[in-house]
């Protein structure tokens, strides 16, 4: 008590007054600093922090440094955590980008919220079909286009700005805030699980809640996300002749690796989307009537969605089935074939070695270790029937479990109140078809309550061309985080 009194007196003498909480002052502050926030995003987007491209590793490391500097400038207790090295396919060993942590406040009488985010991005090249330079933030009709704008740079900045607004106005932070910002999310959060495990009794010891803002809404209505799918990513490689051949000369003489590869890929999924790998569907949790009722309430217009992605027909003709297949059933996607000819023109090469890349999204109660065996056995079985002299290798590169939580806990109630305060509507409760590996890692390793509080728009185009975030989502999202911190402080200890 005495200390508080002395501090207030000292601050008063310095001419600094601790302001009482005022949501209006905080939101005014955000509105007044809108241009600065956009410029900060421009700086961040200009850094090509593509974690999948090893030649960009220095840029990624520079990005982590920029985050560190920003948080240090706000007087946080900042650390750069070394998370070790990664061994590349060619045997080279390279350092993983450091994880940045920052601590704001250590008042034992307050709750402690840990904000997780990432500042690495998916690859982007103008030639992929971007209408603007992906690393030059460009505003068109209130939308800010750039790689990483929505995933996840603007949300991370919005969290930083939320804390900064309290500090700038000399308002006490209603909770202690800890940041954990990584740079390998887009390639499976390499190294982070080891860090989380080792920090369980250090960085995480006083953390009560973990918040992740790394996905989007489902419609124009704000949402709280309560589940994400996991992912198993595979390489299937067929190797044949010692070197590439020419089809005009050698075509009739060999069984082509590409032909084998297409043959086995075609055994993964039916034309109607049914997974053909024996056993995989058996583990999927039953689709209950209660769950169907939740999906029925989701504001999701199939027609808008269909036309936004530019297809003639969707796989399912009703909302509930479509959402279920996006959120709670597994899917198989084929992403590419390494070693195959993919340039312009009509080259008649026969590739000697080709590697297919495909992934299977994971849902409760699938287990990546079991899926790995099912897929490997299945592909080898199909390959054997082809009686090919070529060689097949199957390898699972990433195996991430799904995450699902209960929306009736105090943390989600705080999230609902925060949304209502800023947007004057109830949030939608949604699941996410994509994978955010860290959610499950946090759950398994720390046992803390986790909430996903997204601010991205439904049409932000994460991972695809012309990714953007709207000014509206960025600014109102910042206000949402400000409000959320306040609402969390009202959670009663039980």
Ligand X SMILES: *[C@@H]1O[C@H](CO)[C@@H](O)[C@H](O)[C@H]1NC(C)=O
Catalytic residue IDs:
120, 185
Residue 333 in the binding site for ligand X (CB under 6 A): no
Residue 22 in the binding site for ligand X (CB under 6 A): no
Residue 385 in the binding site for ligand X (CB under 6 A): no
Closer CB to ligand X, 355 or 446, in the complex: 446
Distance CA 61, CA 46 (A): 14
Distance CA 211, CA 309 (A): 29
Binding segment toward Zn ion, per CB under 5 A, in 89-97, 145-153, 369-377, 452-460: 145-153
Residue 318 in the binding site for ligand X (CB under 6 A): no
* 3-state secondary structure (DSSP) of residue 38: helix
Distance CA 390, CA 259 (A): 11
Smallest distance from Zn ion to CB 177, Å: 20
Pick from 48, 68, 120, 214: which binds Zn ion (CB under 5 A)?
Answer: 214
152 touches, from Zn ion, ligand X, none (C-beta below 5 to 8 Å by class): Zn ion
Nearest to 492 by CA among 422, 404, 405, 413: 413
Residue 136 in the binding site for ligand X (CB under 6 A): yes
136 touches, from Zn ion, ligand X, none (C-beta below 5 to 8 Å by class): ligand X
Residue 131 in the binding site for ligand X (CB under 6 A): no
Which residues in 43-170 belong to E strands, given as ranges? 77-81, 85-87, 93-95, 99-104, 112-118, 138-140, 143-145
Smallest distance from ligand X to CB 68, Å: 14
Residue 270 in the binding site for ligand X (CB under 6 A): no
Q: HEC states along 44-63?
A: HHCCCCECCCHHHHHHHHHH
Query: Please, are residues 492 and 176 in contact by the beta-carbon 8 Å criterion?
Result: no
Question: Which DSSP letter does residue 152 get?
Answer: I
Maximum Cα interatomic distance, the chain, rounded to a whole number of Å: 91
Find the radius of gyration of the CA atoms of the chain: 25
Residue 467 in the binding site for Zn ion (CB under 5 A): no
Element (H, E) at 10: helix 2-13
Q: Could you tell me if residue 118 is left (phi over 0), alpha (psi between -120 and 50 degrees) or otherwise beta? A: beta
Q: How many residues bind ligand X (CB under 6 A)?
A: 3
- For residue 410, what are its two tokens? 């105090």
Residue 260 in the binding site for Zn ion (CB under 5 A): no
Binding segment toward Zn ion, per CB under 5 A, in 144-152, 306-314, 392-400, 405-413: 144-152
Closer CB to ligand X, 41 or 418, in the complex: 41
Binding residues among 71-110 for ligand X as defined by CB under 6 A: 77
Closer CB to ligand X, 62 or 421, in the complex: 62
77 touches, from Zn ion, ligand X, none (C-beta below 5 to 8 Å by class): ligand X
Applying CB under 6 A, which residues contact ligand X? 77, 133, 136
């Amino acid at each position: 008590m005495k200390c508080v009194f002395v501090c207030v007196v000292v601050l008063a003498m310095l001419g600094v007054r601790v302001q009482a909480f005022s949501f209006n002052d905080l939101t005014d502050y955000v509105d007044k600093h809108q241009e600065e926030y956009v410029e900060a995003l421009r700086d961040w987007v200009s850094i090509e922090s593509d974690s999948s491209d090893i030649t960009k590793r220095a840029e990624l490391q520079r990005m982590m440094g920029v985050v560190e500097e920003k948080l240090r400038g706000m007087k946080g207790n900042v650390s750069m955590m070394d998370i070790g090295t990664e061994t590349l396919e060619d045997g080279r060993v390279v350092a993983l980008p450091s994880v940045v942590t920052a601590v704001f406040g250590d008042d034992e009488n307050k709750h402690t919220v840990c904000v997780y985010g990432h500042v690495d991005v998916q690859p982007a090249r103008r030639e992929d079909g971007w209408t603007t330079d992906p690393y030059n933030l460009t505003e068109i009709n209130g939308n800010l286009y750039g790689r990483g704008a929505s995933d996840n740079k603007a949300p991370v900045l919005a969290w930083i700005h939320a804390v900064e607004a309290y500090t700038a106005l000399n308002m006490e932070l209603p909770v202690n805030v800890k940041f954990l910002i990584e740079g390998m999310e887009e390639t499976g959060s390499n190294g982070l699980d080891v860090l989380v495990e080792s920090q369980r009794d250090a960085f995480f010891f006083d953390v009560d809640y973990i918040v992740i803002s790394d996905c989007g809404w489902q419609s124009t209505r704000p949402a709280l996300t309560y589940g994400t799918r996991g992912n198993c990513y595979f390489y299937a490689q067929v190797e044949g002749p010692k070197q590439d051949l020419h089809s005009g000369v050698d075509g009739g003489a060999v069984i082509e690796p590409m032909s084998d590869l297409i043959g086995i890929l075609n055994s993964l999924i039916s034309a109607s989307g049914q997974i053909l790998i024996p056993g995989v569907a058996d583990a999927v949790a039953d689709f209950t009537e209660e769950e169907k009722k939740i999906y029925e309430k989701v504001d999701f217009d199939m027609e808008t969605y269909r036309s936004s992605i530019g297809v003639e027909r969707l796989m399912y003709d009703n909302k509930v089935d479509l959402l279920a297949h996006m959120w709670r059933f597994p899917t198989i996607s084929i992403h590419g074939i390494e070693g195959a000819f993919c340039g312009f023109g009509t080259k008649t090469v026969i590739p000697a070695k080709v590697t297919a890349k495909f992934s299977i999204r994971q849902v409760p109660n699938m287990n990546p270790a079991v899926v790995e065996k099912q897929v490997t056995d299945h592909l080898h079985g199909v390959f054997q029937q082809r009686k090919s002299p070529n060689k097949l290798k199957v390898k699972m590169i990433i195996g991430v479990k799904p995450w699902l939580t209960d929306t009736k806990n105090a943390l989600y109630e705080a999230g609902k109140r925060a949304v209502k305060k800023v947007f004057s509507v109830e949030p939608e409760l949604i699941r996410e078809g994509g994978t955010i590996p860290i959610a499950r890692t946090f759950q398994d390793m720390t046992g803390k309550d986790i909430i996903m509080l997204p601010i991205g728009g439904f049409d932000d185009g994460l991972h695809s061309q012309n990714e953007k975030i709207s000014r509206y989502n960025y600014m109102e999202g910042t206000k949402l985080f400000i409000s959320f911190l306040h609402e969390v402080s009202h959670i009663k200890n039980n």
